[in-house]
Amino acid sequence: MGDARIELAVIGGTGLYQLAALQDVETHQPLTRYGAPSGPIRVGTLGGRRVAFLARHGEGHSLPPHLINYRANLAALQALGAQRVLALNTVGGITERFGPRVLACPDQLIDYTWGRISTLCEVDSEGRGGGDVLHVDFGEPYTRSLRQAVIEAAREAGVAMVDSGCYGATQGPRLETRAEIARMRRDGCDLVGMTGMPEAGLARELGLDYACLAIVANWAAGAGPDPDEVITLQDVLDHVAAATGELPKLLATLLAK
């Protein structure tokens, strides 16, 4: 494991269960000290660079956000030799700049999740985890250099991207009420998703570089022009498919940097 350098690990979210552009793919499913990852890790080449891909919810989307073993996912990618993680997160848009199909690279987050294992030092019900109590710095939750590389790659590739924003991580798996979204807007959130935490915090604890590429799939509850809009999974998937058409180009440009 970890023989040839993996330049980038990509974690795919809702609607993103594979990287079709990956070539010469090998499959790994390492067991980590935190347990098994969500599914197989596909390692291949993209633009001549080695890339690992993992579907966060499993390739058949069988894991809800609060039951994902985020620690095992990140530890497995790290065990394979990844040092940099680009998290793809399907989100709802709250503020004006973040309508459906927008791509964004947020620079802040607020964690509203609860009851998830959110640190390496917690021992879970199967006795996994533990060790030193960690208090990592998290003032800037995403790695600045990786964010800048993503933003520059988007600019170079001609892919439109909002280069900031605050991601609010909710518990799910249900979507939010309009009052919850109104509160998140008051708190300063631009985007809402269910998987941004504890992933980002655990990446920091593991010493991994980590950035989020958020794909806006819908207006969050009550945030769009039609306040009575009902959000359907089909709309979410359609918008993700439309918004990620240029993802391979963006990743190839990022990897060439």
Site string for ligand HPA, 154-183 (x = CB under 6 A): ----------------x----xx-------
**Contact flag: residue 100 with ligand HPA (CB under 6 A):** no
Q: What angle do CA 121, 37, 64 make, to 5 degrees?
A: 90
Residues in contact with ligand HPA, total (CB under 6 A)?
14
**Contact flag: residue 90 with ligand HPA (CB under 6 A):** yes
Task: Tell me which residue of 85, 55, 252 sits closest to 159, measured CA to CA.
Answer: 252
What distance in Å separates the CA atoms of residue 244 and residue 74, rounded to the nearest whole number? 23
**Contact flag: residue 192 with ligand HPA (CB under 6 A):** yes
Taking CB under 6 A as the binding criterion, the range among 25-33, 111-119, 144-152, 187-195 that sits at the site for ligand HPA is 187-195
- Cβ closer to ligand HPA: 94 or 157? 94
CA distances from 230 to 138, 139, 156, 223 (A): 35, 35, 36, 12
CB atoms within 10 A of CB 254: 28
Site string for ligand HPA, 120-149 (x = CB under 6 A): ------------------------------
Task: Tell me which residue of 94, 75, 71, 77 sits closest to 169, measured CA to CA.
Answer: 94
- Cβ closer to ligand HPA: 76 or 194? 194
- Cβ closer to ligand HPA: 170 or 253? 170
Q: Which residues are CB-contacts of 18 (< 8 A; sequence separation ≥ 6)?
A: 12, 42, 53, 55, 59
Minimum CB distance to ligand HPA, residue 170 (Å): 6
Continuous H helices in the chain: 70-79, 144-157, 178-187, 199-206, 233-243, 247-256
Minimum CB distance to ligand HPA, residue 58 (Å): 17
Minimum CB distance to ligand HPA, residue 215 (Å): 9
Minimum CB distance to ligand HPA, residue 210 (Å): 19
Provide the token pair at 15. 């609607």
Provide the token pair at 102. 């927008």
Minimum CB distance to ligand HPA, residue 98 (Å): 11
Q: Which residues are CB-contacts of 95 (< 8 A; sequence separation ≥ 6)?
A: 165, 185, 189, 190, 223
β-bridge partners, 12: 55
**Contact flag: residue 91 with ligand HPA (CB under 6 A):** yes
Residues from 220 through 239 that contact ligand HPA (CB under 6 A): 220, 231, 236
Q: Which residues bind ligand HPA (CB under 6 A)?
A: 90-92, 170, 175-176, 192-194, 217-218, 220, 231, 236
